[in-house]
Structure 1
Amino acid sequence: MAAPSRHPLQDPPPRPGLRERKKLRTRTEIRRATYRLIAGQGYEATTVEQIAQAAEVSPSTVFRYFPAKEDIVLSDEYDPVLAAGLRARPDGEAPLDALRSALTDSLRTLLAEEHDELVQRTRLMVEVPAIRARTAETMAVTGRLLTGVLAERTGRDPGDLELRVLTAAVLGALGEATLYWGEHGCRDDLLSLVGRAFDTLGSGLRL
């Protein structure tokens, strides 16, 4: 008798190969070097050439991983983690509740592992118009990813209007809560602010 197959969500994620790990290490070093330079001399004064030198790579390598300087600041490795977290939510859970849990878990991990970088990134979003504008583009990429996962969970088409609206609303709420956090000096509890944002989505604005 064949052994029962495991649910795919129970299987541990495959370990990245050597090439993927090297790429991730390079991306991380470039990003950390960028944050160090910006902390010391400001965003505008920091050049790609300086970033490359600090990360011990060539400028062409920086551009290969990050098409624009704004992308270095805004990028992270959490989209796949977020998608996996959403896929792992219980079957039948309401889409808004599933998104809330997955996003909150991912944010909690980000705060624990990269708190200082998140603070610096958020402050730059508040202070630098180019970064704030680029944020909308990166959110759109995350939105398409999450919409696709919701389509898997609900059996709807990935282009479904309601799925797109829900995902856009959730990411918009997350973005505004984060921006509010940055505008107030990153002193508040970000998780509580995000919780308030989700409560507003769920119940509306009560006057």
Structure 2
Amino acid sequence: MSTLRERNRLRTRGDIASAAITLFEQHGYDNTTIEQVAKASGVSVATFFRHFPSKEDVLFADEDESAAAMVQRVAGRSDPAVTVAALAEPVALFATDLEDDRIFRLTHLVMTNRQLEPRSLRMRLRWEREIARQLAAEQGSSAPTQDDVLIASIAVSCLNTALRFWDRTSSPSGLSDLVRQMFARCSRIAGATDQVAESA
């Protein structure tokens, strides 16, 4: 059971994040200061820094939870095969968990600001690394093989492509459908590549 102090902490953190996202949308990420965010959320600058190390961290506050949730979906998949196709279902289910207005707005901010690209790439690489480790562990290995890394990279690429096209829509729903479409496209592209190789 959460304590009153913990509930207050989470509420303050949520208020700061909500105020920051609104200001980023209204004035742009680069043009918004931490002082403005603190004022809009009714806290001091010192309180802001107790919750977020930087302005960027407001948009990536769920990074640890996100990576853990991704691995949990992969570990609990219905098809235990270590293939790209077997990861389509868990990645789509992970995408379903992202289909809300707050994450949709966060995604738009991240996808439209080049200053955030390095952090976004770091998060993507973390997803790939964690999935590859999970696949290796399932096979009794302590380190991922080239196949594990490649499969994880392709799966995350399907998700990342879906996120980019999701950002161009006007609705927080539909991300999981886009993910499934990207996996299907990946399968078709791989099949076309195999046919070209066979005919060469």
Instruction: Give the residue type in structure 2 aligned to 1:153.
Output: E
Query: Does 1:93 find its partner at 2:77?
Result: no
| 8 A contact 1:125–1:179 mirrored in 2 | no
Check whether the contact 1:83–1:145 (CA below 8 A) recurs between aligned residues.
yes
Task: Rate the CA distance shift 1:37–1:151 in 2: closer, same or farther, 3 A.
Answer: same
Task: Give 1:116's aligned residue.
Answer: 101
1:185 is the counterpart of 2:173: no
How many Å separate the matches in 2 of 1:140 and 1:134? 10
Mapping of residues 95-174 of structure 1, within 5 Å: 95-111=83-99, 115-174=100-159
- AA at the equivalent of 2:187: G
Q: Compared with structure 1, are the counterparts of its residues 65 and 98 closer, same or farther at alpha carbon in structure 2 (3 Å cutoff)?
A: farther
1:5-28: CA deviation from partner (whole Å, max 9, x where unpaired): xxxxxxxxxx78888776655543
Query: What TM-score comes out, normalization by structure 2 length?
Result: 0.75
Contact kept, 8 Å, 2:95 with 2:179, in 1: the verdict is no
Q: State the alpha-carbon separation in 2 of the partners of residues 126 and 204 from structure 1.
A: 25
- The aligned residue for residue 8 of structure 1 is none
**Alpha-carbon contact 2:80-2:86 (below 8 Å) kept:** no
1:164-199 per-position Cα deviation (integer Å, ceiling 9, x unaligned) = 2221221122112211232x3345833222112111
The one-letter code matched in structure 2 to 1:191 is S
Deviations, residues 115-134 of structure 1 (Å, cap 9, x unaligned)? 22222223223321012332
> When the two structures are superposed, what TM-score results if normalisation uses the length of structure 1?
0.73
Deviations 1:53-77 (A, max 9, x none): 3444443454454443233223323
1:144-178 deviations in whole A, cap 9, x for unaligned?
A: 22222222222233342221222122112211221
Q: 2-side partners of 1:91 and 1:40: how far apart?
A: 44
Q: Relative contact order, CA 8 A, sep 6+: which one is greater?
A: 2
* Count of equivalent residues: 189
Answer whether contact 1:91 1:153 (CA < 8 A) is retained.
Answer: no
Q: Unaligned stretches of 5+ in structure 2? A: 194-200
Matched AA of 2:68: P
Name which of 23, 43, 47 aligns with 2:29: 43
1:61, 1:132 → 2: CA distance?
27
Q: Which runs of 5+ in 1 are unaligned?
A: 1-14
